[in-house]
Amino acid sequence: MNGLLEFDPAVAVVETAGESCSLDNYLSQPDHTMDARIAEARAKLGTDVVLLGHHYQRDEVIRFADYTGDSYKLSKIASQTDSKYMIFCGVHFMAETADVLAKPWQHVILPDLNAGCSMADMAEIGQVEDCWDALERAGLTSEAAGGLIPLTYMNSAAAIKAFCGERGGLVCTSSNARGAFDWAFARAKKILFLPDQHLGRNTAFAMGIPLNEMVVWDPYQINGGVTPDRLKAAKVILWKGHCSVHQRFLPEHVDRVRREEPGMQVVVHPECRWEVCQKADAVGSTERIIEVIEKAPEGSSFAVGTEIHLVNRLARQFAPLGKRVITLDDAGCLCTTMYRISPQHLAWALENLVEGRVVNHIKVDEDVKEWARVALDRMLEIKA
């Protein structure tokens, strides 16, 4: 597994010298047979290793995590931990971020290199650079025009984060997107927000920016498919990207809940479509969704528009407290790339560490890391 990852040329995957235990030998075993092996390896490694688990991770894996949370919370933990090894049970952009924030002697491990993010893949660095060049030619980036600041969602490659950091911008998560927009508008007249158009649109609209002052930049069309006049009039330029999980929630799903479950509250993630968020009772990050349900009185019921593993986990957690939690879409929206990380992958990574081998080591190039760190440090200074 030496060489460069296809999904991001800024990230190298390396292994220490020596033969690693064959992953195939693990993948042929049932999930439950890994439990004792994971526990034993963790006991041997002690505080040298910390496991970070994103909320969307499957139950069989996240129950071993030392810390669980959304991207923002886990990023802060990654910047503060002193463990030698960070095993990130999430997707590749999260592991990249952990490496950017890590100390020089720390190693970040992604148990399965196929755990990517379709949204992050929708903004390729060459496309973003071409977009910026076009915006420069249109005169939108100059101080005379009021300036333009690029903001990127956490769900983006390290190279995109570095691009924003080098041009005066920062990174945000769904937890602190409003704070990031406030920060940017205090410094410039316009924002380029990527790669999730829905989070950008929902955040801007909640701040009072009308839809007609937002445009969508399509990297596969000439000049983004936007006329010069529309670009000049826009306060927010949204990249044409989305989350394949959250975009599946539709306004008619909310209508069905209103019709069939009177009194049930609809709570959705801001990666959902604007039309869905407008119909919901509350909109917020995964941490915010948990908080809303947690603080609700006994007997409350919720239809939640986010990834199905988190919804099912909340349903079990709050059932003893007399609260009912269901998914907004009966089909159940699964993050298939997050699901790739299994107990077998986790056991494989841990047992290799016990033997002194670092597998699936995520390493961001130093030139990319420098500016990505700037963008992330700015983010960590903003109140969520």
CA distances from 106 to 73, 112, 239 (A): 19, 19, 34
Distance of alpha carbon 94 from alpha carbon 101, whole angstroms: 11
316 has a pLDDT exceeding 80: yes
- Reduced to 3 states (helix: H, G, I; strand: E, B; else coil), residue 73 is helix
Q: How would you label 85-98 residue by residue, b for 16+ Cβ within 10 Å and e otherwise? A: bbbbbbbbbbbbbb
- pLDDT, one tens digit per residue, over 166-214 is 999 999 999 899 999 999 999 999 999 999 999 999 999 999 999 999 9
Which overall architecture, per CATH, does domain 246-327 show? 3-Layer(aba) Sandwich (3.40)
Which overall architecture, per CATH, does domain 3-115+339-368 show? 3-Layer(aba) Sandwich (3.40)
- Provide the token pair at 382: 């903003």
- Provide the token pair at 218: 């399509």
The CATH number that domain 121-242 falls under is 3.40.50.10800
- pLDDT, one tens digit per residue, over 250-284 is 999 999 999 999 999 999 999 999 999 999 999 99
- Sorted by where each begins, the domain ranges of the chain are 3-115+339-368, 121-242, 246-327
CB 207 within 8 A of CB 179: no
Identify the pLDDT of residue 384: 62
β-strand pairing of 49-54 with 301-305 = unpaired
**Do the two domains 3-115+339-368 and 121-242 of this chain adopt the same fold?**
yes
Average pLDDT over residues 46-69: 90
- Which of 129, 12, 88 minimizes the C-alpha distance to 366? 12
- pLDDT, one tens digit per residue, over 18-45 is 456 778 888 888 888 899 999 999 999 9
CA distances from 353 to 70, 210, 253 (A): 26, 52, 46
Distance of alpha carbon 230 from alpha carbon 99, whole angstroms: 39
